[in-house]
């Protein structure tokens, strides 16, 4: 069906006239589309994992209530992605007066320029169509943002070219907010916006209009306003002023993945793993779990600033770096598969150290040492999942008897398996990881190294940069040591 191209044609078309009727606001439009999607059983936020029972219902409630929103949460919790996905709840396209800077409704224009054109051209005024993606305007809040950037200001060039007085409404240069008319306006990191600029948003949130400096006019904009904020910012760089918070309809709290399995799914979805098709990628499940556990471990580590948070980008970039190190090994050794190991995770330290904010104790220890501790602790946690109450005495005795084993992150799979085969009973434990001793040497090497690292994490064996895995030195107890642990002394006696 051909779309109307003039105002007269639009008025005679019942379908399009219904889409632009003056009493149908953007919030009404979003509400109608959410209801339609729910009835059809559509997935409301594709690509968002872990928020199905928590965050998404709150967003839907806010849209059904026709509220403006603020997404409040720590870094790396998909706040910006949620913002940008709100566009899907707009109509696929809507009519607007062609050439209008603020996307005026053809049936109810609000800007002076469009009203003048309407008087001159009547039903012959041309109509353009706005696609939903062009109805989303986003601004990153920075301390240098001005009211003119957001709302608008006098434009002397317009006045000079058109021969208008500076007091004429036609000399207005519209800011980002008016240009988002009939759409969604998003401000990222709201607390970074200066308090006096936040005050400028009061009218649009409460009365639905804006006042532009120097003009005795009020523009009744039709816009949905959405913000993001990090709770850390309330004390670090700025805060959301209380009257503005009071005017925001709904505060949506985001969160990190609630389970390791959800975290693994998010990381797998977001990480760049589609590498060289000639070199297939095979990531063992325990490697994925260890990488995800690093983020969980960091979020509860006392040496890391909890107010800052540990972004979900940490496991994503760590997995990418881990795969890259395994890819480098495969290329050097001429292997036909890329299979990451624990040593590849240690090689991914640069993807971890830059994503954790350290407290004083952590600063004293150093970011790299803290990151190594996190990897070791994470290996220990995942190791216990697979090998709780498993007897590794034969392996421990081999190391206690003077055995040592050094594995390089560049050592090819077959060579690594040959080294691991020296340890009695080690390969017998591989089936617990879903890997048989006869499997691909790369998988066997990854599993064997995971077991050794797990024993090291649980302090059953030791490891050094020079000698690799070796005997765990257990200090002899002295009488003065035992005085602090009477129960232990009784057991030893």
Domain boundaries along the sequence of the chain: 7-253, 260-470
Q: Name the DSSP class of 235.
A: T
Q: Are strands 69-72 and 223-229 parallel, antiparallel or unpaired?
A: parallel
User: What's the confidence (pLDDT) of residue 54?
Assistant: 95
Q: How many CA atoms lie within 13 A of 15 on its CB side?
A: 7
User: What's the confidence (pLDDT) of residue 147?
Assistant: 85
Assess contact for 172 and 215: CB atoms under 8 A: yes
Residues with pLDDT less than 70, the chain: 1, 156-157, 159-170, 213-216, 232-238, 474-493
Q: Can you tell me the distance from the alpha carbon of 379 to that of 336, in angstroms, rounded to the nearest whole number?
A: 27
DSSP-based three-state secondary structure for 335: coil
Q: Name the DSSP class of 358.
A: B
User: What's the confidence (pLDDT) of residue 166?
Assistant: 57
User: What's the confidence (pLDDT) of residue 235?
Assistant: 44
Helix (H) or strand (E) holding 154: strand 152-154
User: What's the confidence (pLDDT) of residue 172?
Assistant: 78
Output the six-digit token pair for 395: 């392996």
Angle at 468 between CA 467 and CA 472, to 5 degrees: 90
Distances (CA, A) of 128 to 16, 30, 66, 194: 12, 21, 27, 36
CATH number of 7-253: 3.40.50.300
Q: Can you tell me the distance from the alpha carbon of 349 to that of 375, in angstroms, rounded to the nearest whole number?
A: 9
Give per-residue pLDDT as tens, 98-153: 999 999 999 999 888 899 999 999 999 999 999 999 999 999 998 889 888 888 87
Alpha helices, DSSP H only, in 42-104?
55-64, 79-85
Backbone angles phi, psi at 469, to 5 degrees: -75, 135
Radius of gyration of the chain (CA): 31
Distances (CA, A) of 8 to 16, 22, 25, 103, 128: 12, 16, 22, 18, 13
Residue 461 CB partners (closer than 8 Å, separation 6+): 395, 396, 399, 452, 455, 469, 470, 471, 472
User: What's the confidence (pLDDT) of residue 307?
Assistant: 82
Q: How many CA atoms lie within 13 A of 488 on its CB side?
A: 9
Helices 285-300 & 367-387, crossing angle to 10 degrees? Answer: 130
Q: Can you tell me the distance from the alpha carbon of 475 to that of 3, in angstroms, rounded to the nearest whole number?
A: 84
User: What's the confidence (pLDDT) of residue 488?
Assistant: 43
If we measure between CA atoms, which residue out of 385, 475, 28 comes closest to residue 224? 28
Residue 215 CB partners (closer than 8 Å, separation 6+): 167, 169, 172
User: What's the confidence (pLDDT) of residue 187?
Assistant: 94
Give per-residue pLDDT as tens, 292-345: 999 999 999 999 988 888 999 999 999 999 999 999 999 999 999 999 999 999
Output the six-digit token pair for 277: 């098709």
Backbone angles phi, psi at 418, to 5 degrees: -60, -40
Residue 189 CB partners (closer than 8 Å, separation 6+): 140, 141, 228, 229, 230, 233
Output the six-digit token pair for 98: 């062609």
Q: Can you tell me the distance from the alpha carbon of 62 to that of 248, in angstroms, rounded to the nearest whole number?
A: 11
Q: How many CA atoms lie within 13 A of 327 on its CB side?
A: 16
Q: Can you tell me the distance from the alpha carbon of 87 to that of 377, in angstroms, rounded to the nearest whole number?
A: 42
Assess contact for 257 and 312: CB atoms under 8 A: yes
Distance of alpha carbon 265 from its chain centroid, rounded?
Answer: 13
Tokens 């909890």, located at residue: 306
> CB count, 10 Å around CB of 64?
14
């Amino acid at each position: 069906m051909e779309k109307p191209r003039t105002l007269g044609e639009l008025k005679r078309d019942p379908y399009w006239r219904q889409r632009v009727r003056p009493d149908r606001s953007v919030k009404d439009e979003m509400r109608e589309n959410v209801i339609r999607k729910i009835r059809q059983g559509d997935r409301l936020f594709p690509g968002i994992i872990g928020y199905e029972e928590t965050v998404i219902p709150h967003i839907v409630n806010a849209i059904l209530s026709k509220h403006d929103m603020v997404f409040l949460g720590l870094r790396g919790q998909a706040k910006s992605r949620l913002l940008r996905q709100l566009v899907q709840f707009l109509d696929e396209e809507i009519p607007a007066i062609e050439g209008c800077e603020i996307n005026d409704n053809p049936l109810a224009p609000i800007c002076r320029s469009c009203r003048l054109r309407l008087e001159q051209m009547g039903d012959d005024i041309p109509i353009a169509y706005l696609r939903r993606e062009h109805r989303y305007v986003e601004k990153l809040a920075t301390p240098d943002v001005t009211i003119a950037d957001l709302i608008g200001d006098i434009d002397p060039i317009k006045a000079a070219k058109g021969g208008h007085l500076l007091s004429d409404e036609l000399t207005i240069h519209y800011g980002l907010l008016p240009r988002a008319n009939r759409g969604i306006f998003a401000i990222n990191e709201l607390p970074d916006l200066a308090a006096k600029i936040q005050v400028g948003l009061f009218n649009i949130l409460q009365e639905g209009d804006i006042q532009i400096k120097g003009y005795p006019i009020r523009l009744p904009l039709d816009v949905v306003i959405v913000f993001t904020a990090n709770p850390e910012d309330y004390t670090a760089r700025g805060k959301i002023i209380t009257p503005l918070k009071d005017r925001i309809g709904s505060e949506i709290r985001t969160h990190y993945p609630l389970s390791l399995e959800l975290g693994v799914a998010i990381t797998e979805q977001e990480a760049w793993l589609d590498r060289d098709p000639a070199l297939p990628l095979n990531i063992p499940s325990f490697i994925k779990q260890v990488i995800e556990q690093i983020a969980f471990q960091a979020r509860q580590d006392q040496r890391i600033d909890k107010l800052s948070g540990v972004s979900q980008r940490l496991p994503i970039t760590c997995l990418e770096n881990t795969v890259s190190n395994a890819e480098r090994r495969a290329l050097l050794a001429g292997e036909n598969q890329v299979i990451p190991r624990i040593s590849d995770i240690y090689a991914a330290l640069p993807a971890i150290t830059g994503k954790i904010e350290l407290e004083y104790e952590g600063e004293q220890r150093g970011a790299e040492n803290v990151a190594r501790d996190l990897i070791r602790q994470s290996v220990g946690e995942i190791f216990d999942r697979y090998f709780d109450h498993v007897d590794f005495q034969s392996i421990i005795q081999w190391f206690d008897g003077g055995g040592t084993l050094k594995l390089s992150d560049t050592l090819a799979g077959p060579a690594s398996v040959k080294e691991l085969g020296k340890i009695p009973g080690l390969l017998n434990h591989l089936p617990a990881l879903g890997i048989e001793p006869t499997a691909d040497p790369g998988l066997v090497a990854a599993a064997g190294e995971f077991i050794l690292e797990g024993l090291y994490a649980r302090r059953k064996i030791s490891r050094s940069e020079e000698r690799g895995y070796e005997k765990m030195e257990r200090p002899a107890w002295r009488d003065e040591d035992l005085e602090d642990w009477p129960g232990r002394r009784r057991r030893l006696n």
